[in-house]
């Protein structure tokens, strides 16, 4: 299957006169993994909000293949195959690990379909497979509320996998993680990337280096630099933004 | 071992709770029979106790409706009394039409209040109410329709939390004002009363009273199983997810609006059913049933019993009303203070209600 290209052109988002995104253009090819870095407030999360329909751009084009994402709501965009992991891990605390994954599993989403839903063998083994991939098999029956911070992040990544998206948006997956958890997460992301496009937002440069992918640097809502990690790290404008203060 | 789903192995507490629930239902079912025993028998149950328990059973159905919307989907409605009252009015209209020429004015078709107000013919919205199935249908349909309209407008604009509560409270208040008006053609502030018969049975007989009691009890059991079926399905887990992290559910591709609309409409219909069972039992319906305090009281039953647990909601309806009945007979002025105090105490000390004491593992 040929995936879709993510295409942002001239995207501007204004909040009360403040430009959170300023004429931002980014293209992510099918199957590509892209790291987006930038200081706090650079507009990284806002960029994801625009792609997933949470925020409407004031100006600009946002397309996924032939689909104009500025005209669709969150659920429609999700069903198009764009999955998102939030900066603050959001899993459903009252549900078990297994139930969280089950909700994310690709299946009819309407209320009546959910009412009649019966967990089949194929669905169960798919859930168990992902549970294994994110290392939470032993916690399957535990409620998400009692997981550690790192485990919650992995559960959320697992929920993304269940959706089987074409494009994965991952916002600061290693914030607050121990070094060991960070390594584990980088390995997990590399492994699941496969045929999907992945956009990882992070401001931890070591983590981005560990991913070893093309990097886009965002600053004050615009693209500052783009290329391999060594290239952007030696870019004088990047050095100025990161080190010049 | 593979993952457990919503139904973990029942603990001893759970089994105990289940046994207690079944025992209570059996005891309730025995009440009208014990009422037939001679008055001097030790097991005699008074008319008063049977009739008030019948009312509480209807309240328990209303509590289940509120719990389904609030405890599971996080929709705190402060207007469920309106759905209850509308269900009651629908059956009330049927009961009024069955009075026929037995009214004080002896008009063959028009209820007394219409004759009194100078009506010459039956308003169109009264047509059909001589049929019981039609009236019962309307007792569910009208509350469901109202819930659908209010829900659609609110959910589509993503009105949540306290704003949603205020809208539902305003809804019941507006309906109360409307129903107080004589020109609504629904009896004005007197509402409907002096009912004579239902389904060919005079209402003032012991048989009619116990039949109505059993109808309410059977409905309570049926509504409980319906709610349990929903809350244990994947839809139930979607509702819990919406309650706890609504926007996350959207990013998973679910239509939050549809799920909320489904549960709110169903909840409104269940409340309508409760009202329809209530009115023949108590023999009167008037606009006071729309009073905002009624809706708030019903929410407190659920909070006290334990929201998010079906048994808790029913338990709350019974226990708070038992306290109310006792307190209003010994110190009527204290009731509202006691109710407020109870709510504060439960919120602070027992955030999961009475049932939270028993069922720690629940969500
Ligand atoms: N809903 C909003 N209303 C007003 N300002 C916002 C809103 N969301 C984000 N911003 C502002 O936009 C800027 C970019 O934020 P964000 O995208 O969260 O940055 P990053 O994720 O790169 O740290 C910040 O200055 C933030 O304060
Ligand atoms: Mg951010």
- Alpha carbon distance A29, B139 (integer Å): 57
Cα A51 to the chain's mean position, in Å? 10
- How many contiguous H segments (helices) and E segments (strands) does chain A have? 10, 10
- Which of B271, B290, B309 is at the close of a domain? B290
Q: Which residue has the higher pLDDT, B77 or A175?
A: B77
**Dist. CA B215 → ligand 1 center (Å):** 58
pLDDT tens figures, A197-227: 999 998 777 788 888 889 999 999 999 889 9
- Which of B256, B290, B324 is at the close of a domain? B290
pLDDT surpasses 70 at B6: no
- Residue B143 exposed, middle or buried by CB count within 10 Å (0-12, 13-18, 19+): buried
B254 falls within a domain = yes
Lowest mean pLDDT among A1-10, B40-49, B155-164: A1-10
Q: B51-61: string of b/e by CB count within 10 Å (b at 16+)?
A: bbbbbbbbbbb
- Alpha carbon distance B57, B228 (integer Å): 18
pLDDT surpasses 70 at A1: no
Q: What is the model's pLDDT at position A206?
A: 79
Q: Which of residues 160-199 of A touch B (CB under 8 A)?
A: 163
Question: Cα angle at A213 between A175 and A61, to 5 degrees?
Answer: 85
The closest ligand to the CA of A218 turns out to be 1
Q: For A76, which residue in chain B has the nearest alpha carbon?
A: B253
The answer to whether residues B157 and B199 belong to one domain is: yes
Distance from CA of A91 to the nearest CA of B (A): 8
- Alpha carbon distance A33, A8 (integer Å): 16
- Residue A205 exposed, middle or buried by CB count within 10 Å (0-12, 13-18, 19+): middle
- Alpha carbon distance B45, B96 (integer Å): 31
Q: Give the mean pLDDT of chain A.
A: 89
B13 falls within a domain = no
Crossing angle of helices A149-163 and A121-133, rounded to 10°? 140
Q: For A103, which residue in chain B has the nearest alpha carbon?
A: B238
Instruction: Give me the mean pLDDT over the B320-342 stretch.
Output: 89
Q: Tell me which residue range forms the domain holding B268.
A: 69-290
* Token representation of residue B208: 């009619």
Strands B197-198 and B201-202, how do they pair? antiparallel
| Residue A88 near chain B (CB below 8 Å) | no
- Alpha carbon distance A120, B345 (integer Å): 45
Distance from CA of A82 to the nearest CA of B (A): 9
Q: Whose CA is nearest to atom 16 of ligand 1?
A: A43
Phi and psi torsions of B129, nearest 5°: -75, -5
Q: Which of B251, B262, B267 to mutate to test the interface with A (most CBs of A within 10 A)?
A: B251
* Token representation of residue B324: 């109310």
Asked whether the beta carbons of A72 and A80 are under 8 A apart, the reply is: yes
- Which of B259, B290, B321 is at the close of a domain? B290
User: Could you tell me which residues come within 8 angstroms of residue A200 by beta carbon, excluding any fewer than 6 positions away?
Assistant: A33, A34, A35, A36, A170, A173, A189, A208, A211, A213
Q: Which of B4, B234, B244, B247 to mutate to test the interface with A (most CBs of A within 10 A)?
A: B234
Question: Cα angle at A132 between A127 and A137, to 5 degrees?
Answer: 90
Nearest to A7 by CA among A65, A46, A77: A65
What do you get for the CA distance between the two ends of chain B, in Å? 23
* pLDDT over 90, % of chain A: 56
The answer to whether residues B205 and B115 belong to one domain is: yes
Q: What is the model's pLDDT at position B2?
A: 36
The residue ranges of DSSP E strands in chain B, in sequence order, are: 192-193, 197-198, 201-202, 284-285
| Residue A78 near chain B (CB below 8 Å) | yes
Q: What is the model's pLDDT at position A101?
A: 96
The answer to whether residues B311 and B273 belong to one domain is: no
B5 falls within a domain = no
Task: Show residues of chain A in contact with B259, CB under 8 Å.
Answer: 111, 114
* Token representation of residue A241: 């933004």
SS3 B241: helix
pLDDT surpasses 70 at B3: no
- Alpha carbon distance B159, A64 (integer Å): 29
pLDDT surpasses 80 at B360: no
pLDDT tens figures, B65-107: 999 999 999 999 999 999 999 999 999 999 999 998 888 888 8
Question: Cα angle at A200 between A194 and A202, to 5 degrees?
Answer: 145
The answer to whether residues B225 and B276 belong to one domain is: yes
Q: What is the model's pLDDT at position B10?
A: 59
The domain A6-243 having CATH identifier 3.40.50.300: the answer here is yes
DSSP letter, residue A143:
B
Asked whether the beta carbons of B220 and B310 are under 8 A apart, the reply is: no
Q: For B234, which residue in chain A has the nearest alpha carbon?
A: A114
* Token representation of residue B106: 């002896």
pLDDT surpasses 90 at B316: yes
Nearest to B98 by CA among B187, B183, B203, B179: B203
The answer to whether residues B241 and B261 belong to one domain is: yes
Number of structural domains chain B divides into:
2
**Dist. CA A20 → ligand 1 center (Å):** 6
Q: Where are the domains of chain A?
A: 6-243
Cβ separation of B238 and A103 shorter than 8 Å? yes
Q: What is the model's pLDDT at position B273?
A: 98
pLDDT surpasses 60 at B125: yes
Give the confidence band of B276 by pLDDT, cuts at 50, 70, 90.
very high
The closest ligand to the CA of A43 turns out to be 1
The answer to whether residues B221 and B300 belong to one domain is: no
Measure CB to CB from residue A74 to each of B233, B238, B251 and give the nearest one.
B251
Phi and psi torsions of A94, nearest 5°: -80, -10
């Amino acid at each position: 299957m040929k995936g879709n290209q993510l295409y942002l052109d001239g995207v501007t988002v204004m909040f009360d006169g403040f430009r959170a995104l300023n004429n931002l253009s980014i293209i992510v090819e099918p199957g590509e993994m892209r790291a987006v870095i930038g200081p706090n407030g650079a507009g990284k999360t806002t960029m994801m909000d625009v792609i997933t329909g949470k925020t409407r751009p004031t100006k600009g084009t946002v397309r996924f293949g032939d689909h104009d994402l500025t005209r669709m709501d969150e659920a429609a965009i999700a069903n198009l195959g764009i999955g998102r992991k939030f900066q603050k891990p959001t899993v459903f605390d009252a549900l078990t690990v297994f139930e969280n994954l089950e909700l994310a599993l690709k299946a009819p989403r309407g209320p009546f379909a959910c009412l009649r839903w019966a967990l089949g063998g194929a669905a169960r083994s798919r859930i168990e497979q992902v549970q294994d991939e994110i290392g939470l098999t032993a916690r399957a029956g535990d409620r998400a509320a009692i997981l550690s911070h790192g485990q919650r992040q992995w559960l959320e990544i697992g929920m993304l996998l269940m959706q089987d998206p074409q494009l994965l948006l991952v916002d600061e997956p290693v914030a607050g993680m121990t070094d060991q958890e960070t390594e584990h997460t980088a390995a997990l992301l590399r492994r699941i990337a496969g045929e999907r496009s992945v956009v990882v937002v992070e401001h931890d440069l070591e983590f981005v280096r560990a991913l070893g992918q093309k990097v886009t640097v965002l600053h004050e809502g615009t693209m500052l630099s783009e290329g391999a990690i060594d290239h952007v790290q030696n870019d004088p404008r990047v050095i100025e933004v990161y080190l010049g203060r | 071992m593979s993952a457990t789903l919503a139904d973990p192995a029942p603990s001893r507490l759970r089994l105990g709770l289940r046994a207690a629930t079944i025992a209570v239902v059996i005891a309730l079912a025995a009440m009208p029979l014990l009422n037939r025993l001679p008055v001097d028998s030790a097991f005699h149950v008074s008319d008063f106790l049977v009739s008030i328990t019948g009312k509480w059973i209807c309240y328990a159905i209303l509590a289940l409706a509120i719990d389904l919307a609030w405890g599971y989907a996080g929709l705190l409605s402060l207007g469920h009394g309106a759905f209850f009252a509308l269900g009651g009015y629908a059956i009330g209209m049927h009961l009024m039409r069955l009075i026929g020429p037995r009214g004080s004015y002896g008009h063959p078709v028009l209820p007394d209040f219409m004759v009194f107000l100078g009506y010459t013919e039956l308003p169109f919205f009264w047509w059909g109410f001589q049929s019981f199935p039609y009236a019962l249908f309307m007792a569910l349909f009208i509350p469901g329709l109202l819930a659908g309209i209010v829900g659609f407008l609110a959910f589509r604009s993503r009105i949540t939390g306290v704003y949603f509560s205020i809208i539902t409270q305003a809804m019941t208040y507006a309906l109360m004002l409307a129903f107080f008006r004589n020109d609504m053609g629904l009896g004005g502030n007197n509402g409907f009363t002096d009912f004579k018969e239902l389904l060919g049975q005079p209402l003032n007989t012991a048989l009619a009273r116990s039949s109505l009691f059993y109808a309410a009890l059977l409905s309570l059991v049926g509504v409980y199983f319906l709610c349990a079926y929903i809350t244990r399905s994947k839809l139930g887990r979607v509702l819990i997810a919406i309650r706890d992290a609504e926007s996350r559910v959207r990013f998973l591709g679910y239509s939050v609006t549809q799920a909320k609309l489904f549960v709110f409409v169903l909840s409104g219909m269940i409340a309508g059913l409760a009202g329809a069972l209530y009115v023949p039992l108590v023999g009167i319906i008037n606009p006071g049933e729309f009073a905002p305090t009624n809706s708030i009281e019903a929410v407190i039953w659920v909070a006290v019993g334990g929201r998010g647990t079906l048994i808790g909601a029913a338990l709350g309806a019974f226990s708070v009303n038992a306290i109310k009945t006792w307190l209003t007979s010994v110190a009527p002025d204290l009731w509202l203070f006691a109710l407020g105090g109870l709510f504060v105490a439960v919120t602070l000390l027992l955030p999961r209600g009475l049932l939270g004491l028993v069922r720690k593992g629940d969500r």
